[in-house]
Amino acid sequence: MLYLVHHGEAMEAQQDAQQPLTPVGRAAVERVGVSLEERGVLPVQIWHSGKLRARQTANILHAACNPTATVGMVRGLRPADSSEIMADRLMGEQRDVVLVGHMPHIARLLRRLVGKVGEVELCVFPSHGVVALRTDDEGFTWIEAWRLN
């Protein structure tokens, strides 16, 4: 399974240039972590963009879902990155992986993975939510399994 996650609510850049999670955002991510753990989500990898809010979200999910998972920054998850970078990296992926990213990139990545590139209105990503994808053919075609808002 692949889990796409939009980072938790973050401070505005005018408040803090690094844009850490707000207290409300942190609490919401902790609830998401509990929900994921209750669903049996057990990732072996948790990848984030390297930006503080994504890293904080990844660390909270790491503690909630699988403290033995590897957590790290990977190229291709920043807001302006091409969705092709991560789509190519995920080709053939069979492990359970959590990706923590940003809008609009994470929404573009979802559309690319499920074959709906350009269909913005038909394939909306939940703000600060999660979309779980499964594959039936060794990671070459992804299908939405469920989502958390």
130-149: per-residue pLDDT in tens?
A: 999 998 776 678 999 999 98
Q: How far is the C-alpha of 2 from the C-alpha of 90, rounded, in Å?
A: 9
Q: For residue 23, is pLDDT > 80? A: yes
Query: Where do the structural domains in the chain lie, given as residue ranges?
Result: 2-148
Confidence of residue 120 (pLDDT cuts 50, 70, 90): low
pTM strictly above 0.75: yes
Q: For residue 7, is pLDDT > 80? A: yes
What CATH number does the domain located at 2-148 have? 3.40.50.1240
Q: How far is the C-alpha of 10 from the C-alpha of 62, rounded, in Å?
A: 19
Q: For residue 29, is pLDDT > 80? A: yes
Contact in structure between 102 and 6 (CB atoms under 8 Å):
yes
> Look-up: residue for tokens 């399994």?
145
Confidence of residue 4 (pLDDT cuts 50, 70, 90): very high
